[in-house]
Amino acid sequence: MPLFFWTIFNRIGYISMIRLSPTTDSQTISIIPRAYTVASDLSMVIVEDGTRKTQTINDITSSLSSNGNFLEMSIAFSILTAENSYSYELKQGSTLLYRGKAYCTSQTDNTTDHTLNSNKYNEYVGTDTDDQKYIIIWTK
């Protein structure tokens, strides 16, 4: 079962992000949809954040989880790359069942913190004696 990350959003609802592996093998996705639809005619559009690279997957079959709280689907993706985030929508025809976010990583250790900005930025570390100079332009 995929790992869910929960974040409080404006104290009204929750946003969940699923974790995917950077593989073309089939992966099981568990969601709590707007409507529990057990069907074989679902479609998903997944979009890579930043590049807008898109994949559409049709004829997805869903089933209820063993406790009946989740809708599960086994899906094989072809566009996943490690350390990238994605947005996706699950539909039945034109009816939106679920919209969510996914993060693709090969990390399997659930006890290690993982950030989206690892090794992407150089942090400036100054000292108390460094002069910080600012230029202010005032116009009327």
Does a structural domain hold residue 121?
Answer: no
| Confidence label for 27 from pLDDT (cuts 50, 70 and 90) | very high
The answer to whether residue 124 sits within a structural domain is no
Tokens of 109: 């250790």
Q: List CB contacts of 20: < 8 A, sequence separation 6 or more.
A: 2, 27, 77, 80, 86, 102, 103, 104, 105
Res. 98: pLDDT tops 90: yes
The DSSP letter of residue 78 is S
> Tell me, what CATH number does 89's domain have?
2.60.40
pLDDT at 89: 95
pLDDT, position 1: 39
Average pLDDT value for residue range 46-72: 91
Residue 100 to residues 15, 28, 89, 117, 128: CA-CA distances in angstroms?
8, 15, 7, 21, 44
Tell me which of 52-56, 70-74, 106-110 is least confident.
Answer: 106-110
Distance CA 21, CA 15 (A): 20
pLDDT above 80 for 112:
no
Q: Does a structural domain hold residue 73?
A: yes
Number of domains, the chain? 1
Please give the model's pTM, rounded to 2 decimal places: 0.68
In a domain, 97, yes or no: yes
Domain span holding position 90? 4-104
